Amino acid sequence: EDGIRDLVRSRGLGDVYKRQIGEDRWMVNQWLRQGKKLAWVEDARVEWRLQPTFGASLRQHFRYMRGDGQARMRTKTNLMRILFYLGLALLATAAYRYPQAAWTALALWLAYLGATLATRFPSATRSRSLGFRLRAFLSVPPALLGMDLAKIAGYLVGTVERLQRKRYTSPI
């Protein structure tokens, strides 16, 4: 890592490197290891256009978490998400034998959903019609489930890819 830091400084990008966090720093490290040249462009214009579809959103979440898995980032957060859904799946399968397990799984999911809605829903639906808020409220559970499963899949794929590489070094 010191070698990368020195390489960045020698190219006049020391301040940029200090400001970077997460996947940006990891990406810079990968480019520098490959011998690519980097330059700071003060008035560069970058456009980022996501397709406004649910499928595109799922693919983007998968790619983000795949990068996290490759870079060994946000391990605790992703592990908590994986364990939460694994626990729900185990409770759901136990419900065949123990019906109360289904209620426990449902209560946990609703608590998770409630916490998510409490933090994100009010600002996203402020000054909208009641019909819009109702449709948004009904669409959140399947959307959240889909995005979380895409994140889990992406993180697991990225982690496997990282473990398969023989010359991996920690990005930070």
* pLDDT tens track for 108-158: 888 887 777 777 666 666 777 888 878 877 887 888 889 999 999 999 999
Q: Which residue has the higher pLDDT, 76 or 9?
A: 76
- Does residue 54 contact residue 142 with C-beta atoms inside 8 Å? no
Show the tokens assigned to 104.
């426990």
* pLDDT tens track for 36-46: 877 777 788 87
**pLDDT mean across residues, the chain:** 78
User: What's the N-to-C CA distance of the chain in angstroms?
Assistant: 7
Is pLDDT above 70 for 7?
A: no
How far from the centroid of its chain's Cα atoms is residue 78's Cα?
A: 8
Identify the helix (H) or strand (E) that includes residue 68.
helix 54-71
Alpha helices (runs of H) in the chain, residue ranges in sequence order: 2-10, 14-19, 22-33, 54-71, 75-94, 99-125, 130-164
pLDDT at 140: 78
